[in-house]
Amino acid sequence: MKITDSSVIRFHLKILHGISVKSLEKKKKSLLFGGSKVFGVPLENLARKYIPEFGLVPCFLVDACSFLLERAGTVGLFRKSGSLPRIKTLRAKLNSGEGCLSTALPYDVSTLIKQFCRELPEPLLPPELHAALLKGRALSSPQDNTSALQLLSCLLPARNSSCLHYLFDFLSKVSERCSENLMNCSNLATVFAPCLLPPPNKAEMSEGRLKLRVLVLHTFIESPHLFGVIPKAVMDSMEFLINFPLQDARRGHRKTQSLKEKTAPWIPVRSKVKPAVSEQSKESTPGEKPTLRRSIGMETFPNILLFRSYQRFKPDAALPDSHSLDGIEAGPQETLKRDLPFVNFSRFARGHGSESSPVLTGVGKLQLPPWRKRISI
pLDDT for the residue 166:
97
Average pLDDT of the chain to the nearest whole number: 74
Q: What is the percent of the chain with per-residue pLDDT over 70, rounded to a whole number?
A: 59
Mean pLDDT of 36-47: 90
Among the listed ranges 127-136, 172-181, 285-294, which one has the minimum average pLDDT value? 285-294
Is pLDDT at 207 greater than 60 in this prediction? yes
- 80 pLDDT higher than 90: yes
Q: 3-state DSSP call for residue 57?
A: strand
Residues 271-292 pLDDT 10s? 454 545 444 444 444 544 444 4
Burial 26-41 (b: 16+ CB within 10 A, else e): eeeeeeeeeeeebeeb
- Using the predicted structure, report yes or no on whether residue 184 has a pLDDT greater than 90: yes
The CATH code of domain 6-22+36-236 reads 1.10.555.10
| Residues 319-334: tens digit of each pLDDT | 444 444 444 444 444 4
Helical (H) or strand (E) element with 360: strand 359-361
Query: Does residue 236 come out as left (phi exceeding 0), alpha (psi in the -120 to 50 range) or beta?
Result: alpha
Determine contact, residues 96/126, Cβ cutoff 8 Å: no
The pTM for the full model equals 0.63
Question: What is the band of 33 on the pLDDT scale with cuts at 50, 70, 90?
Answer: low
168: pLDDT confidence band, cut at 50, 70 and 90? very high
Task: Identify the band that residue 349 occupies on the pLDDT scale cut at 50, 70 and 90.
Answer: very low
Question: In terms of pLDDT, which residue wins out, 115 or 341?
Answer: 115
State the pLDDT at residue 264: 43
Q: Which helix (H) or strand (E) holds 191?
A: helix 185-196
Say if CB 67 and CB 79 are below 8 A apart. no
Instruction: Tell whether the model's pLDDT for residue 167 goes beyond 70.
Output: yes
Q: Confidence class of residue 24 from pLDDT cuts 50, 70 and 90?
A: confident
Q: Where are the domains of the chain?
A: 6-22+36-236
Q: String of b and e for 94-127 (b: at least 16 CB within 10 Å)?
A: beeeeeebeebebbbbbbbbbebbbebeebbbee
Element (H, E) at 208: helix 207-222
Among residues 286, 302, 296, 291, which one has the least CA distance to residue 341?
Answer: 302
What pLDDT shows up at residue 206? 81
Q: Give the model's confidence band at 1: pLDDT under 50 very low, under 70 low, under 90 confident, else very high.
A: very low
